[in-house]
Amino acid sequence: MRRIFTIFSVIALAAMALATNSASLKTNAQTGNAHSKVTVTEEFEFPNDCTGESMAVSDTTVVTCHDQLRADGTFNEKCEIRQDVTAVGETTGIIWHGNATFKDELIATDECNFSFTNVGKVILISNGNAPNLILSFDDLVRMEDCVLTADDHFVSADCRGLGKP
């Protein structure tokens, strides 16, 4: 949930920046491109549906984005988010390690017309005999004429196998 909140905070900031610059953006005759790469570390709690316990999660995240501002004023941002993840069961002490990959896209013409998609998967492998945890995320947020027309967030957890022997 913290990650989703962070993503939506970034979207809101991008939409506000686009709105404050929308008049100047639409007068530019050329397309502008930018590329960014950021590495962050974070710690948070996340539920493990396989064991029924909370996990203390730590990760190193690399966010790589390509932004494009088109001559018609449309802003398009595509990001790939890769994470190296370690999680520890707060009750059992079981350790999971794995990785995550997310693909995000934001398309906006102004603060009242945008869409955001996020699709990702987290694969956590148990060091012991606990099941491995595979999380899938699929999000869609769309605003049209300042009306929220889609606000869909799907998360699924799949418990597989018995970890590493």
With cut-offs at 50, 70 and 90, classify the pLDDT of residue 89.
very high
pLDDT at 18: 44
Mean pLDDT, the chain, rounded, equals 85
Interval 30-88: pLDDT, tens: 578 999 999 999 999 999 999 999 999 999 999 999 999 998 889 999 999 999 999 99
98: DSSP letter: E
Tell me how far apart the alpha carbons of residues 93 and 83 are, in angstroms, rounded to a whole number.
Answer: 22
**Residue 127 confidence (pLDDT):** 84
Of 10-24, 54-68, 98-112, 124-138, the one with minimum mean pLDDT is 10-24
Provide the pLDDT confidence category of residue 97 given band limits of 50, 70 and 90.
very high
Name which residue leads in pLDDT, 16 or 145.
145
What pLDDT sits at residue 153? Answer: 96
DSSP track, 27-82: H--S-EEEEEEEEEEEEEEEEETTTTEEEEEEEEEEEEEEEEE-TTS-EEEEEEEE
